[in-house]
């Protein structure tokens, strides 16, 4: 679903939005990926103090410290993700997102499977790297939506993917995870979060083949104006 110059000039704004955002499989894949990314972000972050207290016997202060460390790590993760995207993958956002999600998966599983009695500092290392790796894809999804959209609807496309993340992902992380923890326990909860990592990677793999093509196409349209 690519817009040429004549279509962009001849169609209404909402017609372009429907065709090139709402009915564009690439944007839908990005939006769905963002749901899982935000569910991971808030699922680990919001429940870190409770998990550390209930499962590992940490104090409330130690749990809150883990919460803060997770957020702090996001600063470094976002900067690192931008650098990796530009310098290592030469602007390929999908491969960058996939790489960072693999990092999330590795440290999430390590955090989940760490036995009771694991040193507090090691749990904090796991949380730090989960935060660092997850905040990269949080940033990169919006950037992909901008890069891969027709210029007339780039902001709308970024808002579309962000809306899915905030509304569905954050809700899933708060209400959904709370219910799963209550009904099935922490092991099932972190198993589902791990599945979310896998699903995010699969969705980004669907986006990958079209990324360069769409970016080049819309860049070409911009230079003809």
Q: In the chain, what are the domain boundaries?
A: 24-216
Query: Under CATH, domain 24-216 is a member of which superfamily?
Result: MFS general substrate transporter like domains (1.20.1250.20)
pLDDT of 148 strictly over 80 = no
- Could you read off the pLDDT of 54-68 as tens digits, one per residue? 999 999 899 999 999
Based on DSSP, count helices (H) and strands (E) in the chain, helices before strands: 10, 0
- Could you read off the pLDDT of 200-213 as tens digits, one per residue? 999 999 998 887 77
CB-neighbour burial class of residue 18 (10 A; exposed 0-12, middle 13-18, buried 19+) = middle
**pTM greater than 0.75:** yes
Percent of the residues in the chain that have a pLDDT greater than 90, as a whole number: 56
Q: Is the dihedral of CA 195, 141, 178, 70 positive or negative?
A: positive
């Amino acid at each position: 679903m690519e817009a040429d110059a004549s279509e962009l000039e001849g169609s209404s704004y909402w017609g372009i939005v429907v065709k090139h955002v709402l009915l564009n499989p690439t944007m839908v894949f990005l939006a769905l990926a963002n749901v899982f990314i935000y569910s991971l972000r808030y699922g680990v972050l919001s429940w870190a103090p409770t998990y550390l207290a209930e499962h590992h016997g940490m104090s409330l202060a130690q749990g809150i410290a883990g919460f803060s460390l997770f957020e702090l790590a996001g600063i470094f993760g976002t900067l690192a993700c931008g650098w990796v995207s530009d310098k290592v993958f030469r602007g390929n956002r999908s491969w960058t997102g996939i790489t960072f999600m693999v990092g999330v998966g590795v440290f999430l599983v390590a955090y989940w499977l760490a036995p009771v009695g694991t040193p507090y500092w090691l749990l904090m290392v796991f949380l730090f790297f989960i935060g660092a790796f997850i905040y990269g894809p949080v940033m990169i999804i919006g950037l992909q939506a901008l890069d891969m959209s027709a210029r007339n609807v780039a902001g709308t496309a970024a808002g579309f993917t962000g809306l899915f993340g905030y509304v569905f992902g954050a809700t899933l992380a708060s209400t959904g995870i709370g219910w799963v923890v209550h009904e099935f326990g922490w092991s099932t909860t972190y198993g589902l979060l791990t599945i979310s990592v896998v699903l995010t990677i699969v969705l980004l793999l669907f986006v990958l083949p079209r990324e360069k093509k769409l970016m080049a196409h819309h860049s070409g349209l911009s230079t003809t104006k």
